[in-house]
Amino acid sequence: MASWRKRVALQEFPSQTTAWVDPGDPGALSFPVLGTTTLERAHRLIETLVDPTGALPTISKDRLARRAAARAQRFDGMYDEGDDPWRLAGSFYEERRRALVLGLLGCRRHGRALEIGCADGRLTEALLGRCDDVVAFDTSHRAVTAARDRAPRATVEQGMAPMDLPSEPFDLVLLAEVGYFLSPLELVATLRRCEAALAPGGEIVLCHWQHPTRDVPLDGQLVHEQAAAMLKTGHRASYVDGDLRIDVWGDGPSVAHREGRT
């Protein structure tokens, strides 16, 4: 993974990143070659390049469409071995994850919710108990079909983040167990779209697996680190254990303040 390789490379040369004393002149202190700002930029998932001449290659819309189709085909293919490729049915991990996500919400009830990566709709169904309206997306046609059957009151569409996400305001935007399947550029663009679509007083929730990932662009730690670095909405809650991490961003009042307890 390119992002981790870059971090490891920086750590190989501590003389470039930390102050050190020259053995030949103990009174002389050498300052880091790479300062804090440079290191922060180096830890970003994407690099920003200025291209005034238009010489750099770009990703065409056709290539993005082919990538979306290939990803949808890959996830659809997982259903060839059964209707529950993610082993969601009967899983206490999944039941607990859904309960933790709902427990960290700062409102008893939201108006409109956007769920990105709904899989078979189990969390979608749970969100309908806390939201007036839920709009859910998944890249897999077969997952969308399952989610529509499980949560018929929700609006479930097939689409790929970030290009297919709606732009209208939502009181709750949820990105659960999907961020690491996106490329770094897709993740950054998706997070920007999520924040732009957030209604005043709304919440953004990220929930991801914390164990190592394989054959996907990112992992849970990188997804949440990138979100923390770029989201301007205030961070209001976090839960972390050995299996998963949940972070909530929102600028609305706390539950206690809303109820006049402070």
DSSP string, the chain: -HHHHHHHHHHT-HHHHS-EEETTEEEEEEPPSS-HHHHHHHTSSS-----TT--S----HHHHHHHHHHHHHHHHHGGGG-S-TT--TT-HHHHHHHHHHHHH-SSS-EEEEEEE--TTSHHHHHHTTTEEEEEEEES-HHHHHHHHHH-TTSEEEE--TTTT---S-EEEEEEES-GGGS-HHHHHHHHHHHHHTEEEEEEEEEEEE-S---SSS--HHHHHHHHHHH--SPEEEEEE-SSEEEEEEE-SPPHHHHTT--
C-beta of residue 142 within 8 angstroms of C-beta of residue 159? no
Q: What is the pLDDT of residue 232?
A: 93
Match 């909405």 to its residue by tokens.
Answer: 233
For the chain, domain boundaries:
92-258
Angular region, 25: left φ>0, alpha ψ -120 to 50, beta rest: beta
The whole-angstrom separation of Cα 110 and Cα 89 is: 27
Pairing of strands 244-250, 198-209: antiparallel
Q: What is the pLDDT along the chain (262 residues), one digit of tens a residue?
A: 555 566 667 777 776 777 766 666 766 666 677 777 666 666 667 767 678 888 877 778 788 788 888 988 999 999 998 999 999 999 999 999 999 999 999 999 999 999 999 999 999 999 999 999 999 999 999 999 999 999 999 999 999 999 999 989 999 999 999 999 999 889 999 999 999 999 999 999 999 999 999 999 999 999 999 999 899 999 999 999 999 999 999 998 899 998 999 8
Q: What is the pLDDT of residue 56?
A: 75
Superfamily in which the 92-258 domain is placed by CATH: Vaccinia Virus protein VP39 (3.40.50.150)
Task: For residue 117, give both structure tokens.
Answer: 């990566």
The whole-angstrom separation of Cα 135 and Cα 224 is: 23
Q: How large is the greatest C-alpha to C-alpha distance in the chain, in angstroms?
A: 74
On the CB side of 1, CA atoms within 13 Å amount to: 23
Match 């993610």 to its residue by tokens.
Answer: 86
Nearest Cα neighbor of 244 from 202, 213, 217 is 213
Q: What is the pLDDT of residue 147?
A: 97
Q: What is the pLDDT of residue 67?
A: 82
What is the reported pTM? Answer: 0.82
The whole-angstrom separation of Cα 158 and Cα 164 is: 9
Q: Could you tell me how many residues make up the chain?
A: 262
The whole-angstrom separation of Cα 54 and Cα 254 is: 48
